[in-house]
Amino acid sequence: MKIIGKKDIKTDHGFAEKIRQRCGENVFLCYQCKKCASGCPSRQFMDKTPAELMRFLQLGMIYEAMQQNTIWYCLSCQTCSARCPQDIDIAHVIDTLKIIVQEEKIKTDTHNITLLNRIWMTILKYMGRMYDIALAGSFNLFTGKPFKDLPLAIKMIKKGKLKFIPSIKKPFEMMKMFSRAKRLKK
């Protein structure tokens, strides 16, 4: 059995430095207490906990960090950031990772989650608030199941739980959104 010593462990600090430059957070302050993970409301759906994500970043395991569904299941609720005894704004680190994944076009196994996130952000950008029918409708359309939630949507509209017509603040911006929607599909 080979005993692994310090010289066998190769770490790449470059990515952690990039994160620090982009969002000002130092991931090396994390000492794996796991308080972030224990308070995370999305934890049960994540491949890896926020604490494990921080460890990947410390070790320079970039693709392991970015290819997990962890960053996409993050709700940006800031619970982890508030609980961290080292004052690391973990939610901000995760938001930064989401941006880097998009900028560098890193292929992930979480295409549908990425797609949902992009539709979500596009609707927020152009409407200033969530329009549930557009979110669910666009997602189902781009994933090849356009009528998946139709029966539920009809029930919800009848009960007044879902607005069929949104309050559009920026109609011209809305038109731009639909013209850009084609690009969401890879």
By the criterion CB under 6 A, which residues form the site for ligand SF4? 30-36, 39-42, 50-51, 54, 74-80, 83-86, 88, 90-91, 94
What are the residues whose beta carbons fall under 8 Å from the beta carbon of 100, sequence distance 6 or more? Answer: 18, 22, 66, 106
Q: What is the Cα–Cα distance from 107 to 47, expressed in whole angstroms?
A: 17
CB of 185 to ligand SF4, least distance (A): 27
State the Rg of the chain over Cα: 20
Residue with tokens 């879902």: 162
Taking the least distance from each CB to ligand SF4, the nearer of 85 and 146 is: 85
Taking the least distance from each CB to ligand SF4, the nearer of 41 and 128 is: 41
Query: Measuring CA to CA, which residue among 65, 52, 54 is closest to residue 106?
Result: 65
CB of 102 to ligand SF4, least distance (A): 17
CB of 50 to ligand SF4, least distance (A): 4
CB of 57 to ligand SF4, least distance (A): 10
Taking the least distance from each CB to ligand SF4, the nearer of 34 and 148 is: 34
Taking the least distance from each CB to ligand SF4, the nearer of 47 and 149 is: 47
CB of 56 to ligand SF4, least distance (A): 12
Taking the least distance from each CB to ligand SF4, the nearer of 31 and 178 is: 31
The distance of Cα 133 from the centroid of its chain, to the nearest Å, equals 21
